Amino acid sequence: MSHLVSLLHTIHLFPRKICILLAGESENDRNRIRGGDTELSDEGKRYSAAVCELVRSRGCLAQGAPLVLSGTLRRYQQMVGELQRTEADASGEKNDSGWARSTCVQLKALNELCFGSLEQLAGGKLRQSFPDEFASRAKDPLRYRYPGVGGESYMDRKTRSKLVSMPIAPPLLASPIITIHKVVTSSSPAGCHVQLP
């Protein structure tokens, strides 16, 4: 996250808003299961609706159709769908305030950490079921890479975050909305303040 923020500061050519939204709770989050691609839980849907309404009410919309960057998992797509949902105003006319016309770019770099062969492992089971992996992870949590195909470390996650800044760089993409998983924000250094709506 710190790399993303610092790069965004270097390409800041004109005033703009960048809204960063945390994805709502997924069914796997609710059931304390690592990873996976499940839909938002009922609580996650309520959270997403509230956050998207807050974004709409705060005027985070750029001129023209906004850019929305999101991960490729279902929970992100549901959140984007909520953001793009049109609403009827008091007269009954549909009012999309520009959000229905927003462009959504799906980036795997915004997905949560991949747990490799430990995907779908219930929370708290790492210590019992894989004591060697638990010990390795405890030794160096930042650099520990989960075993198996696609397994990542938090350092890998940090490197992936750098890729997100590339589509934001052109001046045409003035005020993006970025939907992310909490893992992306957990690597922010102490001096880096990310203001969430």
Domain boundaries, the chain: 2-182
Q: What pLDDT does 191 receive? A: 34
Q: Which residues sit opposite 102 in a β-bridge?
A: none
**Dihedral, CA of residue 191, residue 53, residue 70 and residue 23, to nearest 10:** 70
- In a 13 Å sphere around the CA of 114, the CA atoms on its Cβ side amount to 17
The tens place of each residue's pLDDT in the chain, 197 residues long, gives 565 565 555 555 666 667 788 888 999 999 999 888 999 999 999 999 998 888 877 766 555 667 788 889 999 999 988 888 765 444 555 655 567 777 788 888 888 889 999 999 998 888 999 999 999 999 999 999 999 999 999 999 888 877 666 555 554 455 666 666 665 555 443 333 444 44
* C-alpha–C-alpha distance, residues 75 and 134, integer Å: 28
Q: What pLDDT does 108 receive? A: 85
Per-position DSSP letters for 125-168, written without gaps between them: HHHHH-HHHHHHHHH-TTT---SSTT---HHHHHHHHHGGGGGG
Q: What pLDDT does 189 receive? A: 39
Please state, in angstroms and as integers, the Cα–Cα distance from residue 171 to each residue in 12, 62, 63, 141, 146, following that order. 9, 12, 12, 37, 38
- The topology (CATH level 3) of 2-182 is Rossmann fold (3.40.50)
